A and B are shown apart, each in its own frame.
Chain A
Amino acid sequence: MYSTVSSEAEDKKVTESAAKKPSPRSGKIKQIWKENREGWMFVAPLVIGLAIFTLYPMVQSLIWSFFNYTGAIYYYPVGLGNFRYMFATDPVFWKVLGNTVFYAFVSVPIVLVSSYLLATLVNLPYKSVGAFRVIYYLPCVIPGVVSGLLWKDMFAANGVFNQFLGLFGLHSQFFESESSWTAISSIFLMNMWSIGGGMILWLSAFKAIPVQLYEAAKIDGAGKIQRFLNVTIPMSFPMIFFNVVTMLIGTLQYNGTLTYAYNGQGYRNSLYMFAVLIYNEAFVNSKYGYASALSWFLLIFIGILTAVLFFARSKIYRED
């Protein structure tokens, strides 16, 4: 049997001798094959997977974004027609983009700040905080569709929130509101239930900061707020930055509204999110070309946003 054993030391010797002696071409290819065979074998599943399930669909959707493809056998190039329709004609595009951007850019800071406050609370030096951490994180393991089911009911006209507001003579339609402000703000309220995820991230950031830094700052006369601004923020910046980027990318693709909004869109599109728009155009209206154009718009939007964030980061924060 062809042995698969080749220690690195052996490999090196062989490479050296191969480098010294000018060998015929086929020998060189054999050499390369022998040296890389193992590594290639291990990453082969990944490479095949990326090619079939990522690279090919990406290129294909880019191509289709310039066609009026609907799944029919014949389809024609429309140039920038899909994009022109998107920006100029589509009656919901700007509304949906506005909803999505508003949701992403407000919910991320809210989650960051509130989960920070929660994390400082359960970072107190008491024995009991461990149990509270577990309770606070628990809602994060609940399936999204169940929390959609639950919150839709809690926000309903006869639900618990309106019961509570009724004590003050108030009433809110929450998800059933025609105003994006009210409806999307209700999502912020719902997201408060799962800030345990952010809490865990902050806690691990705190853990990574040396205690001596705080003590030194204390001796220098820094107050609590100063210590937060000058120790906690700079020390946890790399991690918080990374999480802000991934959270933003995630929320821009949010499709959880499918589970609780009327028709997945809310009344008068008050809860219509970008990912749901793409879903509808692709799988309800079968406008594959237009859906591809929309998804490439989202890809480029996210790409630019990420680039801007990384640029801002390089301005603010310099790694020494």
Chain B
Amino acid sequence: MQAIKNSSLDINTKVKRGEIVFKVLMHILMIIIALILVFPYFYMVMKSLMTQEEVISSTFKLFPSVPQFSNYTQILQDSGYLAAFGHTMLVIVFNLIAVPLSATFVAFGFARCKFIGKNIIFAFMLSTLMLPSVVTQVPLYVLYSKIGWLNTLYPLTIPNITGGGAIYIFLARSFLQSIPKDIDDAAKIDGAGSLRRYFFIGLPLCKPILIYIMINVFTSNWGDYYGPLVWRLDDSFPATLAYKVFYLLQNGATGNDMVHIRMAAGVIMSLVPAVLFFIFQKQLIEGVAMDGLKG
């Protein structure tokens, strides 16, 4: 009896020890991957604190000999960067209001109203997800040039009052459909018109999806360099921050716009979405999952 008990105890401790070893190994693996993935940020921060000589020298250096925090103050005082930041914020503030409002507005119609053409419009809207955007680019450029929209921020903002993209409308519609119609029907009986029902019932209910849409609108507009690149005509274009960084990257600029300064701009540019991500990580990750599950 005693012998059997002992051996079974042995097996138990062996299994446990195996589990612990496995757990430790997996944690070491996860930490190594995390270090690899975090390294580029670290590299960027280090570069942003170097002097110009250190950045362009052919010998490799990971740490700056003396951290140059003045690189950051240079950006904050540079009127070019400040103006670019202003343009980016104009675009973002407009879209932060326009996209969630128009997307949920349209989605409310799809989720709560019956009308002729609903299925066709919905199917066509979804098919635009598969449509390469380059197909519409050239005619839109010509159209914008005719109505004087080139070299302005209109192409980056005005089209967004029409729903801001199929994916947002689709997500908001699915979300609204998952909510019982009871409150809506009650309001209907009380005599609330559809517009009132949208503003006072539909919109507040959409709050979780609104947050997801807004963060995405923020990050996509914050990092968008291609839109400004297409809709610009000449250098008098009101450059956004992402476009300015892109432009300097492509044109190998000098002086205030050398690598170390650009790296500092890059740090500032990635800091903002990173902070947003840390605050709203739950909504974002759930939203990405929703995005992916639509198939």
Contacts and interface: CB of A to CB of B under 8 A. Distances in A.
Interface of A: 3-5, 7-8, 32, 35-36, 38-43, 45-50, 52-54, 56-58, 60-61, 64, 71, 118, 121-122, 124, 126, 128-129, 132-139, 141-154, 157-160, 162-163, 193, 196-197, 200-201, 203-205, 207-208, 238-239, 241-243, 245-246, 249, 252-253, 255, 258-260, 264, 275, 278-279, 282-283, 288, 291-292, 295-296, 298-299, 302-303, 306
Contacts of A201: 288-289, 292
Contact of A160 (B43, B140, B229, B230): B43
B59 interface: yes
11 contacts: A39-B113, A41-B109, A52-B159, A52-B162, A60-B142, A61-B138, A149-B262, A154-B40, A160-B60, A200-B292, A259-B225
A110 to B, nearest CB: 16
A208 B270 contact: no
B132 A253 contact: yes
A282 B162 contact: no
Interface string B17-40: 000000100110110011001101
Which DSSP category, helix, strand, loop or mixed, fits chain A's interface? Answer: helix
Contact of A135 (B38, B141, B295): B38
A241 B292 CA distance: 10
Given A36-B116, A142-B274, A158-B58, A299 B135 contact: yes
Nearest to A142: B270
B154 to A, nearest CB: 12
A144 B269 CA distance: 11
Given A283-B141, A288-B142, A242 B295 contact: yes
B115 A38 contact: yes
Nearest to B164: A49
Nearest to B290: A204
Question: Closest 8 interchain pairs by CB?
Answer: A49-B162, A42-B109, A242-B295, A39-B115, A143-B223, A204-B289, A39-B113, A57-B136
A138 B275 CA distance: 10
A143 B242 CA distance: 8
Contacts of A144: 223, 225
Contact of B135 (A46, A57, A136): A57
A241 B295 contact: yes
A232 B223 CA distance: 35
A131 to B, nearest CB: 9
Nearest to B109: A42
A124 to B, nearest CB: 6
A138 B37 contact: yes
B26 A121 contact: yes
B222 A275 contact: no
A29 to B, nearest CB: 12
B162 A5 contact: no
Interface stretch (B3-11, B78-86, B118-126, B203-211): B118-126
Interface stretch (B69-77, B89-97, B187-195): B187-195
A163 B250 CA distance: 24
B134 interface: yes
Which DSSP category, helix, strand, loop or mixed, fits chain B's interface? Answer: helix
Given A149-B266, A246-B129, A71 B33 contact: no
Contacts of B191: 5
Given A45-B102, A45-B106, A145-B225, A197 B288 contact: yes
Contacts of A136: 33-34, 37
B285 A133 contact: yes
Interface in B121-178: 121, 124-125, 128-143, 159, 161-163, 169
A157 B226 contact: no
Contacts of A35: 114-115
A122 B26 CA distance: 9
A166 B128 CA distance: 48
B285 A46 contact: no
B270 A126 contact: no
Contact of A143 (B141, B259, B273): B273
